[in-house]
Amino acid sequence: MNVYSEPSDNPATPLDAVCVFCGSSGRVAERHRKAASRFGQILGENGITLVFGGGRVGLMGLCADAAVAAGGKAVGVIPRILHEVEVAHQNLTELHIVETMHERKKLMFDRSDAFVVLPGGVGTLDETFEIITWRQLRLHDKPIIVVDEGGYWAPFVSMVDHIVASGFAGERTRQLFQVVKSVEDVLPALAASPAPKLAAHPEKL
């Protein structure tokens, strides 16, 4: 397993809020459910606001429940189409209802200092590739941490290696995100990440 990271001699990334991308399915391995709950607890106990997709189901709901139960804040951002089918979490610090999926991603980006990817499905992949692409385009340089819980994201890392090896992306692509093995490794990895130097360009996202 390759662990992608950037060397840091700079001040640490400020961590007031972390955006979590993760699955909305509840039909997943118990280890993934426990990891989502544990990470929500870690954020809550450390006074770090959780920013997420606003759902009450699957890993999203478990992470939010644990963050709030630990005394933390949880900010959900959900498109109206999902809110209308009653999958929105109702026990949050803030719930923002937006019109489009792009507005959702944009607001989650604006509210977050870093991004953490837990196991998830195609929606999680979409969010992950987009936030990495934005960083590749130098629209931001906020840290991105992929949690390879139980080897779940090993195929994703292999795919990135394949893309680079095939010439469709440069070697620097491997430095756009970091891979850790468990949720307990996330905050130490973020503490070692350099503070963003680029001014975000929200008008270009």
pLDDT digits (tens, 9 = 90+) for 158-168: 999 999 999 99
Indicate if the pLDDT at residue 13 is higher than 90: no
Q: Is 106 exposed, middle or buried (0-12, 13-18, 19+ CB in 10 A)?
A: middle
Mean pLDDT of the region 69-83: 94
Comparing 199 with 52, the larger pLDDT belongs to 52
Q: Which residues pair with 194 in a beta bridge?
A: 12
Q: Percentage of residues in the chain with pLDDT exceeding 90?
A: 80
Indicate if the pLDDT at residue 2 is higher than 60: no
Q: Percentage of residues in the chain with pLDDT exceeding 70?
A: 90
Residue-range domains of the chain with CATH:
17-192 (3.40.50.450)
Per the prediction, the chain carries an average pLDDT of 90
pLDDT digits over 87-121, tens only? Answer: 788 889 999 999 999 999 999 999 999 999 999 99
What pLDDT sits at residue 8? 45
What pLDDT sits at residue 11? 58
Listing from the earlier edge strand, what are the strands of the sheet with 49-52?
94-98, 74-79, 49-52, 17-21, 114-117, 144-147, 178-180
User: Could you give the CA distance from residue 175 to residue 158 in angstroms, rounded to a whole number?
Assistant: 14
pTM of the model: 0.90
Residue 184, Ramachandran bin (φ over 0: left; ψ between -120 and 50: alpha; else beta): alpha
Q: Picking from 59-68, 161-170, 193-202, which range would have the lowest pLDDT averaged per residue?
A: 193-202
What pLDDT sits at residue 82? 84
What pLDDT sits at residue 3? 45
Indicate if the pLDDT at residue 169 is higher than 70: yes
Model confidence at 4, in pLDDT bands (50, 70, 90)?
A: very low
